[in-house]
Structure 1
Amino acid sequence: MSRALSCIVVLFAHLVWISHGRRGYGPGEQDWGHIEVRPGGYMFYWLFYTTGGNIPNYADRPLIIWLQGGPGSASTSYGNFGELGPIDMDSQMRHSTWVKDFNVLFIDQPLGTGFSYLDNHTKCSENNRELGKDLVSFMNGFYSRHRVFQKVPLHIFGQSYGAKVASEFALQLQNETTSKLISVNLVSPWISPLLSVMSWGRILLTIGAIDDQLYSDIHEASLEVGHLMKRNLWSDATNQMFTVQRLIAAQGIDLYNFMEPTENTELRENQLMNGPVRVALNLSESLQFESFSNVVFESLSSDFMKAALTTVEQLLEGTSLKVNIISGQLDLICSTLSTVHWIKRLKWSGRGAYSSAPREAIIVRDKIEGFQKTGGTLTMFWVKNAGHSVPVGNARAMSEILKTLRAIK
């Protein structure tokens, strides 16, 4: 092949690459838009094609879906700019971005969150099963637009309440589509809400953050959450959970990192998304972005305190999916202590293998950044020096965890 022809081939290959994406906000090729997941319900997504070098095609790298929690927090803002996208809240390059090694798809869910919206006659989702159904419908639409991704390994990540959604989504997707779903990854998971709430006072007393009297107050308020749940007063249980949180917050303790306060970024997210991002993505001014939707949260208030242990058990027992649980050891709201407790309660055939498996250190540059334990298709990752937002709390540990996904065939 002549040198001139070689140059033409290289140029053509580059054009094929960029033709799949658009220039959006920040570096690299992107795509975005709305998919109608049910009549009057339009879910917004923002896709970042991997920027990793030494690959002939982006389809040679897996696709990661990121689901934020809340419910009602937007993946395209906090998940993207606050945790793992190519640039941060200050529009600076993020060296630890996941886009270096993966195609990353941020989805604003549930409907009504972020740039996702509903027509006036369309109701918000009210339970986890409905959320999973909407996301499966979204994926059908997404695969219709991006057919090449049907053959690309898929990993679903959900954080906090998003982990609860991710478990249901993965279960339904496994049964209803032909995607190459490989793993579901539950980050700082809100899977057993009552165990989470009951752990707060115990942790804070143990580390000396509260005294015996305040512990007693928190413990009594936490027990009331359980009493309300037993009577199926789910919205009341959610409100009582907030009473417990207020007792803790009054002491200057951050539920998302009990060692140091975390920034409330809602205002910055709204300014960013309603300003330069909207302009760059050419989105209608009629779409008002909210980093957190109270309407969405209220619609799910009766589902918020319901556990998803059965769903995780179904993933472990009824599918071949890898189930990874990732917990920051400084997280209080979805504490490591409560996570370990609900894992012990899971009923599945691999329970014995997991219980007897050794816990191994995650070592990066001769430093222990966390631990991991695998039994059957379940892996638990303990991440040191990270709170609720693990990807940004300890990027080195998270990078090692992501390497395990690329190793799965």
Structure 2
Amino acid sequence: MSAGPLVLLVLMGATQGLPLGEPKESWGYVAVRDKAYMFWWLYQAESPTQSYTELPLVMWLQGGPGASGCGYGNFEEIGPYDTFLRRRNTTWIQAVNLLFVDNPVGTGFSYTTDSGAFAKDVATVAADMMVLLKQFFGSKPEFQETPFYIFSESYGGKMAAAIGLALYKEIKAGSIKCQLGGVALGDSWISPVDSVLSWGPYLYSISLLDEEGLQEVQGSANEVQEALKSGQYVKATDLWSQTEDIIEQNTDGVNFYNILTKDSTFAGKTENRKQRSLELGNVLLGKLYQRHLLPLQRNDLSALMNGPIRKKLKIIPDFVTWGGQASDVFANMAADFMKPVIDIVDELLEANVNVTVYNGQLDLIVDTVGQENWVKKLKWQKIEQFKALKWTAVRMGQKSLETAAFYKSYENFSFYWVLKAGHMVPSDQGETALRMLRMITEQESP
């Protein structure tokens, strides 16, 4: 379904007019399984010199699992408008066509009418996305020859790796006509235990833990590792949550998503935690949901999505509330949460698919040290050549003296260290993220 012009939107009681020259967009639902429907939203690229068909297509995947790319990624990070419907100066549609998908099923405006239809692992998530992409590229043949990149954030990176590999196989089999340009894993939950084991030393090195606190955090992290070694994945998730509790207690409530701020949209309120625990029927899942997913559905964004945006889209079923099934998505994926997918990244690299890892300097939940540690575990035959390289500084202009990031790249593998950014890199450093996007999609050199 194509969008017509929207002249006025009503947001939080105030009338707000959208500017002229709206981006061209379309959206729709795809039935990926019986009683399971996924929502997508596409923005065409806006370039003063090139047609949108000459520019890459990027699919953005949010984390959670259960966080909405059509909501958070779109309005809080990289879409053409922010949550107040003001034009974003660093929107990615300046450089690429942008496809948001609410996945897994039940996320955002996606929904299921059967409680047994929620995904329980990344294999199901990937299979569902293949159904959606087959229909998408079939209905929009103008994108079949366009370089297609999968960008992601947080748990979205774990899903992106699995989806990228599944897509590579479908393309090779001739089932989907698409030009896979690469997969970009942003602050991604690829190897949870490597993050957890690095939390203590990282916080200690920046004076956010004392020695006693370090020992306490490390002891708890070691228990997570032992649970994983014995295949007790649900127990590992429980212990992971306990490790987060210990960190909060010892650091006076550090923000897991940006260590320099205590303004934590992500810091929990007891009443919210109790309410969500009752809904999930599980105190642990309630705590995790509140800490890591509820902030991505905060009140102003929820009001926008369930009010003006819903009216604009016109196809959202009456019984569907944006984010209404997010807790079910999160709960159903609990047993898969702590499982690593390093092997999938290895398969992508061996298949010669371009893989980029990028990470915010100030992130804790997926800290850069942990990312570097799982990268060292790759069995890719060229990993030693990559590790031997020195990184290169990225600046925002030829005359700029400030370093925005570092990167290094060897053949089809790249790593970007993004400075002054937390977990949500495009939100914290929009200009740097846009520059990085152009570099990864081969539109700009360092």
Alpha-carbon offset, residue 89 of structure 1: 1.8
The answer to whether the Cα contact below 8 Å between 1:193 and 1:307 also exists between their aligned partners in 2 is yes
Alpha-carbon offset, residue 54 of structure 1: 2.0
Distance 1:348 1:199, change over 3 A: same
Identify the range of structure 1 (387-396 vs 121-130) with the bigger mean alpha-carbon deviation: 121-130
Report what 2:383 is aligned to: 351
* CA deviations over 1:169-212 (Å, ceiling 9, x no partner): 01010111221111100000111100101111111111111222
Report what 2:215 is aligned to: 216
Paired AA for residue 165 in structure 2 = L
Distance 1:334 1:403, change over 3 A: same
Q: 3-state DSSP class of the match of 2:120?
A: coil
Q: Hey, what's the Cα distance between the residues in 2 that align with 1:213 and 1:265?
A: 33
The answer to whether the Cα contact below 8 Å between 2:95 and 2:438 also exists between their aligned partners in 1 is no
The answer to whether the Cα contact below 8 Å between 2:361 and 2:420 also exists between their aligned partners in 1 is yes
Alpha-carbon offset, residue 405 of structure 1: 3.2
Alpha-carbon offset, residue 292 of structure 1: 7.5
Does 1:332 pair with 2:367?
A: no
Q: Hey, what's the Cα distance between the residues in 1 that align with 2:2 and 2:429?
A: 32
Aligned 1:313-332 pairs, distance under 5 A: 313-317=346-350, 319-332=351-364
Q: Hey, what's the Cα distance between the residues in 1 that align with 2:197 and 2:96?
A: 37
Paired AA for residue 311 in structure 1 = I
Does 1:143 pair with 2:137?
A: yes
Q: Hey, what's the Cα distance between the residues in 1 that align with 2:3 and 2:306?
A: 22
Identify the range of structure 1 (171-180 vs 19-28) with the bigger mean alpha-carbon deviation: 19-28
Report what 1:115 is aligned to: 109
Report what 2:242 is aligned to: 243
Report what 1:204 is aligned to: 203
Report what 1:303 is aligned to: 336
How many corresponding residue pairs? 389
Q: Hey, what's the Cα distance between the residues in 1 that align with 2:40 and 2:426?
A: 20
| Structure 1 gap segments, 5+ residues each | 1-18
Aligned 1:94-243 pairs, distance under 5 A: 94-120=88-114, 122-176=116-170, 177-243=176-242
Report what 2:292 is aligned to: none
Q: Hey, what's the Cα distance between the residues in 2 that align with 1:67 and 1:240?
A: 27
Q: 3-state DSSP class of the match of 1:131?
A: helix
TM-score, with length taken from structure 1:
0.91
The answer to whether the Cα contact below 8 Å between 2:2 and 2:27 also exists between their aligned partners in 1 is no
Of residues 58, 77, 81, the one that matches 2:75 is 81
Q: Hey, what's the Cα distance between the residues in 2 that align with 1:291 and 1:328?
A: 30
Q: Hey, what's the Cα distance between the residues in 1 that align with 2:135 and 2:32?
A: 8
Of residues 48, 51, 56, the one that matches 2:46 is 51
Distance 1:119 1:82, change over 3 A: same
Report what 2:320 is aligned to: 287
Distance 1:265 1:316, change over 3 A: closer
Does 1:382 pair with 2:377?
A: no
Identify the range of structure 1 (212-221 vs 260-269) with the bigger mean alpha-carbon deviation: 260-269
The answer to whether the Cα contact below 8 Å between 1:370 and 1:382 also exists between their aligned partners in 2 is yes
Distance 1:106 1:296, change over 3 A: same
* CA deviations over 1:92-129 (Å, ceiling 9, x no partner): 21100001111100000000111101122652111111
Paired AA for residue 126 in structure 1 = K
Alpha-carbon offset, residue 20 of structure 1: 6.6
Q: Hey, what's the Cα distance between the residues in 1 that align with 2:178 and 2:437?
A: 20
Q: Hey, what's the Cα distance between the residues in 2 that align with 1:344 and 1:262?
A: 32
Alpha-carbon offset, residue 21 of structure 1: 5.5
Paired AA for residue 294 in structure 1 = S
TM-score, with length taken from structure 2:
0.84
The CA RMSD over aligned residues, in Å, is 1.8
Report what 1:15 is aligned to: none
The answer to whether the Cα contact below 8 Å between 1:40 and 1:121 also exists between their aligned partners in 2 is no
Identify the range of structure 1 (256-265 vs 77-86) with the bigger mean alpha-carbon deviation: 256-265
Alpha-carbon offset, residue 231 of structure 1: 2.1
Distance 1:292 1:78, change over 3 A: farther
Alpha-carbon offset, residue 75 of structure 1: 0.5
* CA deviations over 1:311-334 (Å, ceiling 9, x no partner): 0000001x2221010100100001
Of residues 312, 317, 320, the one that matches 2:345 is 312
Identify the range of structure 1 (20-29 vs 74-83) with the bigger mean alpha-carbon deviation: 20-29
Alpha-carbon offset, residue 90 of structure 1: 2.2
Q: Hey, what's the Cα distance between the residues in 1 that align with 2:411 and 2:31?
A: 37
Distance 1:255 1:51, change over 3 A: same
Does 1:391 pair with 2:426?
A: yes
Q: Hey, what's the Cα distance between the residues in 2 that align with 1:153 and 1:20?
A: 23
* CA deviations over 1:257-292 (Å, ceiling 9, x no partner): 111144335222211110111011113332111177
Identify the range of structure 1 (144-153 vs 34-43) with the bigger mean alpha-carbon deviation: 144-153
Q: Hey, what's the Cα distance between the residues in 1 that align with 2:99 and 2:439?
A: 19
Q: 3-state DSSP class of the match of 2:406?
A: strand
Give aligned-pair identity as a percent.
31
